[in-house]
Amino acid sequence: MYSSSLFEGNLDDVSAQEPQRSPIGVFDSGVGGLTVLRQLYRHLPNESIIYFGDTARLPYGIRSQAEILQYVREILHWMQQQRVKMVVMACNTSSALALEIVRGEFDLPILGVILPGAKAAVQQGKRIGVIATPATAKSNAYRHAILEIDPSVQVWQVSCPEFVPLIEQNRINDPYTTEVARSYLEPLIQQNIDTLVYGCTHYPHLAPVLRSLLPAHVKLVDPAVHVVAACTQELELLGLSNTHPPLPTRFVVSGCPQQFAQSGVQLLGHTPMVEVVDFTDTAVSQF
């Protein structure tokens, strides 16, 4: 079992008596989900959050469906042990490859980013580009979701294998990153897209770089904004919205806590205190 001073002793009582006060579980392979966390802070300021980054096993985008499924099941199982009231998969790769399968396996509301992103995209344009991890692009999850909502639009997907490692290494402002971005965007600009979907939660961290390369008329769609809107609706529907002040966010990773804390400073604006979990013995220690 984990131990944490924040929840110790009262978590079971709180969850049982006032489930509204239980945290929302948010996870990603790394710092990508912080773009979803940012939106949660903005739109659901009363919610307590447990953020998990599976940094020991990133990038997810080059992994097989069987691997992603195993990781997602482990994370959801752990989230259940933390008594979360809902889970937001702040990861497109997990949402594309695992969401539909695990939804039926866990007695928890679980939200993914693809459908909210697809719905938002069709409201923005007719020539839609999607940048995503290799696994998400290969799954065609965005193409299918978008065309199911509106078969009259056109969709182009580009796999961007270098983005996640560059972002995790804090190389957002490196000129090399701009060159990589230029090569990924080139075929989409050639197709004269009017809308670009961030098909990976890491990519909004690259917004200034991407904006500088895209024609001004191209609209950017960040599914993070829209999954948080869905989350707000779902909480209200289930009577699970918290009206009390939230607990501080718990940040938990499977890899190096120092590295996550370092990236977190830039992306969150403060240094997060980061715990480590080892799923092999579910021990948690603090950094």
Q: Catalytic residue at 91?
A: yes
Asked if residue 263 binds ligand DGL (CB under 6 A), the reply is no
Under rule CB under 6 A, how many of the chain's residues touch ligand DGL? 16
Asked if residue 37 binds ligand DGL (CB under 6 A), the reply is no
What would the x/- binding string for ligand DGL be over residues 202 to 241, using CB under 6 A? x---------------------------------------
What order of strands is seen across the sheet that includes strand 154-159? 154-159, 127-132, 195-199, 219-221
Specify the residue, 20 or 133, whose C-beta has the smaller distance to ligand DGL. Answer: 133
Q: Which of 58, 68, 76, 172 binds ligand DGL (CB under 6 A)?
A: 58
Asked if residue 257 binds ligand DGL (CB under 6 A), the reply is no
CA-CA distance, 192 to 206, in Å (whole number)? 21
**Structure tokens that stand for 152 in this block:** 């009259």
Q: Catalytic residue at 231?
A: no
Specify the residue, 93 or 259, whose C-beta has the smaller distance to ligand DGL. Answer: 93
Specify the residue, 39 or 136, whose C-beta has the smaller distance to ligand DGL. Answer: 136
* Cα separation of the two ends of the chain: 18
List of E strands, the chain: 24-28, 49-53, 86-89, 110-111, 127-132, 154-159, 195-199, 219-221, 250-253, 274-278, 283-286
CA nearest to 158, candidates 134, 125, 179: 134
Residues 258-275 as b/e (b if ≥16 CB within 10 A, e otherwise) read ebbbebbeebbeeebebb
Asked if residue 93 binds ligand DGL (CB under 6 A), the reply is yes
Site for ligand DGL in 139-178 (CB under 6 A): 164
What letter represents residue 238's amino acid? L
Residues that bind ligand DGL (CB under 6 A): 28-29, 32, 58-61, 91-93, 133, 136, 164, 200-202
Give the residue numbers annotated as catalytic, written as ranges.
91, 200
